[in-house]
Amino acid sequence: MKHRVALAGALAAVLVTTACSGGGSSSSSSSGSSTTTTTTTATAAAGAGTADPIEWTGTFCEGMEPAIEGVLALLKTMFEGGAENPAVLKAALLDNGGKAGKSLSEAGEKLKDLGAPSPESQALHDEVVAFFTDWGKTSAEFNTELAKLDPADPDFFAKLEQLGGDQTDPSKLQEQVKKLQADPKLNEAFKQAPQCVQMNETLKSLGS
């Protein structure tokens, strides 16, 4: 259980650091019209054989946002004493795992359908798709096993400690984001995609 609590805290810290190192937004709007324009551009780009970088990074951030919100909600529960209450902790972990797993799995599928932003980023694209897919799968498996645990069991925390693996290691997420930011086109797209602008604002507010 302590491993899961520490992992949630570490993930939040990693995400804040990543957001702050990603630079500010060069887009002044995150409205629905911007998203529509982005989608239209992406569709045209996809027809040319590559995904639009802004749509691609926007999809990445769109998948990340519920996962981030889930981590923040989980941390709030921990700080309010939930870490010592088996029933409360179980409910919080199930909620976090369900939302994160669903959003990341769906984002992985969307990115797979979009394709790589460029031939040069094909390997990175494949890696991110696999990462999101694996994370979603692991979250689902964790929740399935967690649902079987009885909060009234005196060994609840010991059994909880045995669940899960290292698929949600925050350092792995940080590594993926850093690789994307190392690509000039994708890094610039991160600053323009409305979903990424919103995600960074959420994370920066957490770190302030």
List the structure tokens of 147: 């649902």
List the structure tokens of 139: 């979250």
Burial zone of 49 (CB within 10 Å; 0-12 exposed, 13-18 middle, 19+ buried): exposed
pLDDT, position 206: 61
Please indicate, yes or no, whether the overall pTM of this predicted structure exceeds 0.85.
no
What ranges do the domains of the chain cover?
69-208
- The answer to whether residues 11 and 139 touch, using CB atoms and an 8 Å cutoff, is no
Alpha carbon distance 154, 156 (integer Å): 6
CA end-to-end span of the chain: 28
pLDDT, position 166: 53
Alpha carbon distance 79, 55 (integer Å): 36
| pLDDT tens series, the chain, 208 aa | 554 555 555 555 555 545 545 544 444 344 444 444 444 444 444 444 589 999 999 999 898 888 778 777 888 888 888 888 999 989 988 988 888 889 989 999 999 999 999 898 898 899 999 989 988 888 888 889 999 999 999 999 899 888 865 544 556 667 777 888 888 889 999 889 999 888 888 777 665 5
List the structure tokens of 168: 């949600």
